[in-house]
Structure 1
């Protein structure tokens, strides 16, 4: 069956003649025929999908309890039933934009957001438009015996879409035609396996209990043997297990004949050498589905590993993918790449995106529910390290351990033809870190001296954040505390008294003091402005010890806060979240970046601070999404704090590099070419890769701003038009003023700030991440993403759209967003509604109704230009 027929069958029902006449009503309740009122038909997704296979196998939809023609308008009991439904909705607190959804979506019927408790076991809600598309996408893959990836952003309902898809395939509806029920009973389907992180097992159970009638069991913990016996007895329809359980017991579970296998957080399958990936390869069903909001995190080759699991052979062999896609895309993104490299990369990019789109559906919040939210702005703020921090940082770089790594490729001092790392400098007995790492092996290990890289990087990051972090941790064993105290004495040198000694400070005032920490100095100024304006703040750090220091800082400043980290009990986390969202007195939520999991929907906060960056950009983006998700009613402003001139600048630059490669490979976007370095290529390590770059002294440089300035100069030299008022360098260095740090909308940040104000805040440079990485939705061309029925891969067909002219000058992205928001308000006024009520109407309106509103609005605007 063709995709066109499938879409036509699932078009909304247009049998209600009065729907169009009620468009301009201020109520969002759909209007009904005043003469022949009716209730929604007994139509479910499973019926409609089965109707696609054999349209004659099902009788026409019958409308139940419809009153006769000669019956009076007030009879029939329909209005009474309607009132009960509305009362039930109000009692359950489901007023507002509908986001709770069920799998019984009744795509053909626009009245499907009403439910009849008498005939359905569970409440029926209308799926959002992007969720309906997701269900159809998964179903289309399933019917063609394929697997695929649902790559929606976090918070767009991947779990609900999956349950809707499974319920449709398995006919899990209360009102199902007897012929369909007999078919399902006669040909009983094999069970479904869901593999997910341990932290979300309980959520999957809850969602299945809310929206379906499946028999669900959990293969995790001590009752595994009992569950496996039930599985063998065909008493389980859905089996949920954790990554760890499947990695250990995968050989047992892989012998089961599964109909569908679903992996939640599928990016965990990015490493082909992991035991989990090997265990998942043993699954025999071709219907493998992955759910993830971060399809690619670090390398393009991760795409191959993931897609080779969900759709084996879809991207060819590993070597073919590396040579045909990976290498050309990476080398084409070099800042000095020849024109032919760029041209080949563009061709391969479009080809790759076309192939991926056959097996992946990727949507962002901006594309789907952006019109229901006030937007997000991601600011990167480079804070000057204190003078003490700079001196300690330089001493750290001069340690024998790091010097051994920096000079590893130089000729050995013993005049041998070998390099230092191959000859006399493989071990560092006189170092500050190496002796402790090899206390049980004085001759060193097989990986020496490269085993020093990670410990040295951790120490540099600690110095960049706060000097207390390099002092001994009282929770460590005495031997490690002794070695850490010696290390602290070495790097503090003559400044040891100024740093408060080489042991952890017990002074409350000393820990909360900001004068020796550049980031905390900037944070102090920012927090004062935000709290005075009534903003609520999320403050993230990946280090628990840094959270302890920040907690003392908040107490000293008198801010009311909550805290959540890995030690917080799972059953108390939701209480903390609810308390923060509902309590006006709670001003700050202190969170560990690594304490993710489910339920951290902190939509009451409109300011997000990420105190320390992560090498993996997905970690920082996920932290931002704790606030920027459905239900957020304010503009979200994110501040990532980086220590200027430190390793953190390189961490952020690599984040940009990885995000750009991800946008190129997955979405086919155009990205600026900032960097000369090429990942995993020793010939082109450039400014990003290699040990020498990791341990380079950047204390007297503005590493990131210099790269951006160089890019802008190159654009000028090539004759490209660029308005100097909107240049990244000028806008970045004059980005924040003392009044603007608490501004609500991004357009307010355009005002210039004086240099003394920035210096007082300890900020040396800043820019918006949106100006560096292309975060706008869409791609260069629209592609035919239909799945071939025979499963073969044909050459992708690109239908290139006419590109819109680039926006220049003050017509930047933020101003476009403001203009759209203004137009949205005018449309709401035209409909006689508030913005929130208009959002509700949009969710329940059909495309035809929306088009009619736009046509009428334009006609009125033409008649009354100033109206």
Structure 2
């Protein structure tokens, strides 16, 4: 049939009144299309386009045509598609109403690969265009940094702030190194050859983020990923030996237990997520991670240093052995001068030496570490964060119990430890007659098997005393016996509770755990809960969503009863929440307008959670480690947050909480000096040593009285 005859056959019947206007318009448009070959055709359903559609990339969708030019689709032969009548219906044009997914149009870069290798280098190493178009500028710089580490055959630290996409940068880097272009042409034989040539990649991370890693790999690239965790470990290891696995993901605990088997594999790259877990050189995890045969070790962490400067050395000595010298050299050349130069009364010479060593250390660290903050990268995309410290007045009952605690023989022994002994000897009380506390409420239980004391007496009771002081500051119910403990400990805690409650024991329901719902949910005897009650009423009435963090699961139980009594709709996540249910709980909170408060354990919920629907964060009880509170804040203050985030740290005024917060400031200052090279004001006279913490008792005593 000639083209003219074909067009005549497609002409509408002039005598027919049953034809709809849409059909006539469709046929006339088709005639124009056949005569005008410049109208773009529908893109072929290639594997790359399918991959982009799976990633919800708007670039993979056909362009939207103006309403005055109805669009027709044709196959490769120029014939009309059999579904054209359906395409005329506006409701059926799904591709004209793209659903913007995780990334919007203004956050998509040019659709072109990111070349990482040098000019003239072969083969060309590049990030696929399907991944590069989704990266932000700081993420492209991070990928280049990771590739430079890989090319130079040594490790390093990607130390970006939490929420800047360290996982995405890592996946983009691996896709470039392995030549993974995101295409579906992934024959088993080709993957086996690539894995055998390069070796697989091991990712060690907390168990709570394993599923997040697995999910991100499925969204961004086309790797063969296996999880070495749980009962199927042997099966996964067999696949690894058969070169059928490119990426192996395991948890810290699993690797610590089965590290001897995995350390025998010739890994191409080893990546440790939340690498600050390697801060202690004496831990079993750190010792196990030293067994890796590869030098291409990459650490991902937003808190490079948490408590002390030597943690920094341990981390860098793992990723790049010998980069900071020996341990003794680092301690003498960097650790001691930096700590003493930060004292408020440090001589000018100490300050000058500390500044010189700081600049030298920062320049050395930049060779192996890339660190960016939210303010300097995506600050223009966010509404900012405000940090507030709320000093909550303790209730009168809390104050009386707190003072009785300070009068216990155990606490008095530590407060008076440096005073001359009353027996007349030249030794201090802690070195002579008051080294043991047989009449105390805490010391006898710790030394029930050695009544003469231990080598650390009386300093062995410091930590238990600090815990009790913090519990009183948070809620009086916390110092009562826990039914989950063994009978001996419950008996000891009951005696301790009776001693500190004294004549007020009836006001708190006795020295055993209170089972009364009304009693536990009452805010009368807890200063922090009284403040929380007022804040929540104001926030919920304004439509705000709240993240409520506590270090104690028992405290979460009390707060849960309080929220039920007030009628607030809430979610909860703690260490007992199954790993496979955590993401669904998070998604439900983010998507449900009725969910107003999220109760979260600081330790269980500080990692891997994206809770950008909340704009108010409450740290109910501060942690000695400032990184844990910062990680809790960044569950809300991260990329994707559309509102101004306000953080509230609750401190019981005149209690140990104030000392905990001051220690957080001290540690954060050291971190800023060492890692970022910042100049910090010298607030503190003390230097961080093991026994510095003992001055807290006299400090607390002075505050309370």
**Same fold per TM (> 0.5)?**
yes
Aligned equivalents of 2:689, 2:96: Cα separation in 1: 56
Contact 1:261 1:288 survives alignment (8 Å): yes
**Distance 1:35-1:660 versus aligned 2 partners, 3 A rule:** farther
**Distance 1:479-1:366 versus aligned 2 partners, 3 A rule:** same
- Could you give the per-residue CA deviations for residues 330-357 of structure 1, whole angstroms, max 9, x where no partner exists? 1111111122222222222111111111
Shift of 1:96: 5.2
**Distance 1:209-1:578 versus aligned 2 partners, 3 A rule:** closer
What residue is the counterpart of 1:696 in the other structure? 699
Shift of 1:208: 2.3
- Could you give the per-residue CA deviations for residues 744-791 of structure 1, whole angstroms, max 9, x where no partner exists? xxxxxxxxxxxxxxxxxxxxxxxxxxxxxxxxxxxxxxxxxxxxxxxx
Aligned equivalents of 1:373, 1:286: Cα separation in 2: 37
**1:172 counterpart = 2:187:** no
Corresponding residue SS for 2:254: helix
- What are the within-5 Å matches in structure 2 for residues 273-312 of structure 1? 273-312=282-321
Shift of 1:121: 12
Alignment partner of 2:411 out of 375, 393, 402: 402
- What are the within-5 Å matches in structure 2 for residues 132-281 of structure 1? 132-173=140-181, 188-281=197-290
**1:97 counterpart = 2:100:** no
Alignment partner of 2:470 out of 455, 458, 461: 461
Aligned equivalents of 1:572, 1:228: Cα separation in 2: 26
What's the TM-score, normalizing by structure 2? 0.80
**1:126 counterpart = 2:129:** no
Which stretch shifts more, 502-511 or 618-627? Answer: 502-511
**Distance 1:190-1:400 versus aligned 2 partners, 3 A rule:** same
Alignment partner of 1:420 out of 415, 426, 429: 429
What residue is the counterpart of 2:8 in the other structure? none
Aligned equivalents of 2:289, 2:607: Cα separation in 1: 24
**Distance 1:39-1:337 versus aligned 2 partners, 3 A rule:** farther
Corresponding residue SS for 2:642: coil
**Distance 1:221-1:207 versus aligned 2 partners, 3 A rule:** same
Aligned equivalents of 1:503, 1:653: Cα separation in 2: 33
Aligned equivalents of 2:138, 2:512: Cα separation in 1: 55
Contact 1:105 1:127 survives alignment (8 Å): no
Aligned equivalents of 1:177, 1:465: Cα separation in 2: 58
What residue is the counterpart of 1:537 in the other structure? 546
Aligned equivalents of 1:675, 1:648: Cα separation in 2: 17
Aligned equivalents of 1:175, 1:245: Cα separation in 2: 32
What residue is the counterpart of 1:62 in the other structure? none
Contact 1:376 1:628 survives alignment (8 Å): yes
Alignment partner of 1:368 out of 372, 377, 394: 377
RMSD: 3.6
What residue is the counterpart of 2:65 in the other structure? none
Alignment partner of 2:501 out of 492, 495, 512: 492
Alignment partner of 2:646 out of 610, 624, 637: 637
- Could you give the per-residue CA deviations for residues 801-821 of structure 1, whole angstroms, max 9, x where no partner exists? xxxxxxxxxxxxxxxxxxxxx
- Could you give the per-residue CA deviations for residues 238-289 of structure 1, whole angstroms, max 9, x where no partner exists? 2222222222332332232222111111101111111211121121211111
Contact 1:538 1:591 survives alignment (8 Å): yes
- Could you give the per-residue CA deviations for residues 638-667 of structure 1, whole angstroms, max 9, x where no partner exists? 110001111110100000001111011111
Shift of 1:403: 1.7
Aligned equivalents of 2:526, 2:552: Cα separation in 1: 16
Contact 1:427 1:448 survives alignment (8 Å): yes
**Distance 1:233-1:101 versus aligned 2 partners, 3 A rule:** farther
What residue is the counterpart of 1:447 in the other structure? 456
Alignment partner of 1:346 out of 336, 352, 355: 355
Corresponding residue SS for 2:477: helix
Shift of 1:93: 4.5
Aligned equivalents of 2:690, 2:581: Cα separation in 1: 47
Contact 2:114 2:132 survives alignment (8 Å): no
**1:601 counterpart = 2:604:** no
Which stretch shifts more, 121-130 or 626-635? Answer: 121-130
Which stretch shifts more, 494-503 or 537-546? Answer: 494-503
Shift of 1:480: 2.5
Aligned equivalents of 1:212, 1:578: Cα separation in 2: 23
- Could you give the per-residue CA deviations for residues 346-379 of structure 1, whole angstroms, max 9, x where no partner exists? 2221111111111111112222222111111010
Corresponding residue SS for 1:451: helix
What residue is the counterpart of 2:67 in the other structure? none
What residue is the counterpart of 1:107 in the other structure? 114
Alignment partner of 1:672 out of 677, 681, 690: 681
What residue is the counterpart of 2:57 in the other structure? none
Corresponding residue SS for 1:632: coil
Corresponding residue SS for 2:367: helix
Contact 1:98 1:126 survives alignment (8 Å): no
Aligned equivalents of 1:408, 1:89: Cα separation in 2: 77
Corresponding residue SS for 1:628: coil
Contact 2:224 2:244 survives alignment (8 Å): yes
**Distance 1:439-1:99 versus aligned 2 partners, 3 A rule:** farther
Contact 1:137 1:361 survives alignment (8 Å): yes
Contact 2:184 2:222 survives alignment (8 Å): no
**Count of aligned positions:** 619
**Distance 1:567-1:695 versus aligned 2 partners, 3 A rule:** farther
Aligned equivalents of 1:692, 1:204: Cα separation in 2: 44
Alignment partner of 1:589 out of 586, 589, 598: 598
**Distance 1:571-1:176 versus aligned 2 partners, 3 A rule:** closer
Aligned equivalents of 2:385, 2:555: Cα separation in 1: 26
Contact 1:171 1:184 survives alignment (8 Å): no
Aligned equivalents of 2:104, 2:184: Cα separation in 1: 29
**Distance 1:269-1:122 versus aligned 2 partners, 3 A rule:** same
**Distance 1:167-1:135 versus aligned 2 partners, 3 A rule:** same
Corresponding residue SS for 1:454: helix
Q: Name stretches of at least 5 consecutive residues in structure 1 with no aligned partner.
A: 1-33, 45-72, 110-119, 683-688, 703-867
**Distance 1:413-1:137 versus aligned 2 partners, 3 A rule:** same
- What are the within-5 Å matches in structure 2 for residues 464-863 of structure 1? 464-596=473-605, 600-680=609-689, 689-694=692-697, 696-698=699-701, 700=703
Aligned equivalents of 1:462, 1:354: Cα separation in 2: 43
Contact 2:196 2:243 survives alignment (8 Å): no
Larger radius of gyration: 2
Contact 1:402 1:695 survives alignment (8 Å): no
